[in-house]
Amino acid sequence: MSRPRLLQIGALTPGLDVKLPTLYDITVLPAGEERKAFLAAHGASFEGVATHVRHTLAAEVIDALPNAKVIANFGVGYDLIDVAAAKRRGMQLSNTPDVLTDCVADIAFGLLIDVARGISTTDRFVRAGGWKKGQRPLMTRVSGKRLGIIGLGMIGKAIAKRGGGFDMDVRYHGRRAQPASPHRFEASLLELARWSDFLVVSCVGGPETKHMVSADVINALGPEGFLINIARGSVVDEAALVAALTEKRLGGAALDVFENEPNVPEAMLAMDNVVMLSHIAGFTRESRAAMEQLVCDNLAAFFSTGKVLTPV
């Protein structure tokens, strides 16, 4: 019995790159000038697509796959996938939510504590011998402060739970209020920013949320406020953020994501009130294994029942 034929968009993960070819007939989409000719010659032979959150899956590729009915995406975000084109073609799109919730929430709170208490900068200070000459300036307490969360999905709820462990007052902003939530809903993002000591971005990316954290929101957070982003770089107006940090209109920022990854704004590199990570919030052995398994489970469910387990 022949195995379903899948088109793979670039490298996925070491585990999936090994496992998927044992389950399916896998072909990796060529890059560059070969791509268009390859799709014209072979596009109709594929029944599905496997891709990674960091790869672009444009309409021109989707439209060249007339018999593909499923896209299995490794990652929670799907802003680099042309969802409208996939829906137009009647394709099911799956992602890998929930299984990395705790790991991402851990990083969010780690970043929050780091930027408030200066853990990373003090580590560099000690390593450079600065302690022998004096002490670092006083920093900001975390416990008992006001925590604002943009996007109270699974990750947002997990961040709020961690905030409760630090006796923080928690409020949130999103597309709609959640009546079951014990936390107060703020319909205005500007008002949430004005209220917050720490504002954590945990919403989805994509056109609808692009630059949602605008210059006005950053200014509302103010010179004693901190911005933490573990969502998508596109949600924050990065130029406005750099300007606010440079002009000391914002207390600090802790970022796992950027608008033009892996490039980060040059001005931030010398700022002691900025903590930067390389988009690693979900990068643990445990979450990686669970996400890989969910990609396989989504594909298996589709080819056996016609429906993915975690549709977008």
**227-262: pLDDT as tens digits:** 999 999 999 999 999 999 999 999 999 999 999 999
**179-196: pLDDT as tens digits:** 999 999 999 999 999 999
The matching CATH number, chosen from 3.30.1490.100, 3.40.225.10, 3.40.50.720, 3.40.50.300, for 5-97+286-305 is: 3.40.50.720
Three-state secondary structure readout of the chain: CCCCEEEECCCCCHHHHHHHHHHCEEEECCCCCHHHHHHHHHHHHCCEEEEECCCCECHHHHCCCCCCCEEEEECCCCCCECHHHHHHCCCEEECCCCCCHHHHHHHHHHHHHHHHHCHHHHHHHHHCCHHHCCCCCCCCCCCCCEEEEECCCHHHHHHHHHHHHCCCEEEEECCCCCCCCCCEECCCHHHHHHHCCEEEECCCCCHHHCCCECHHHHHHHCCCCEEEECCCHHHECHHHHHHHHHCCCCCEEEECCCCECCECCHHHHHCCCEEECCCCCCCCHHHHHHHHHHHHHHHHHHHHHCCCCCEC
- In this predicted model, which residue has the larger pLDDT, 168 or 32? 168
pLDDT, mean of residues 267-272: 96
Active site residue 34: no
Q: What percent of the chain has pLDDT over 70?
A: 100
* Confidence at residue 120, expressed as pLDDT on a 0 to 100 scale: 97
Active site residue 89: no
Per-domain residue ranges of the chain: 5-97+286-305, 101-276
pLDDT, mean of residues 297-302: 98
Q: Which of 171, 232, 238, 259 is catalytic?
A: 232
Q: Which of 34, 224, 261, 286 is catalytic?
A: 261
Is it the case that residue 1 has pLDDT exceeding 80?
Answer: no
Active site residue 292: no
Question: In CATH, which superfamily holds the domain spanning 101-276?
Answer: NAD(P)-binding Rossmann-like Domain (3.40.50.720)
Q: Which of 5, 89, 249, 279 is catalytic?
A: 279
* Confidence at residue 206, expressed as pLDDT on a 0 to 100 scale: 85
**pTM score, two decimals?**
0.88
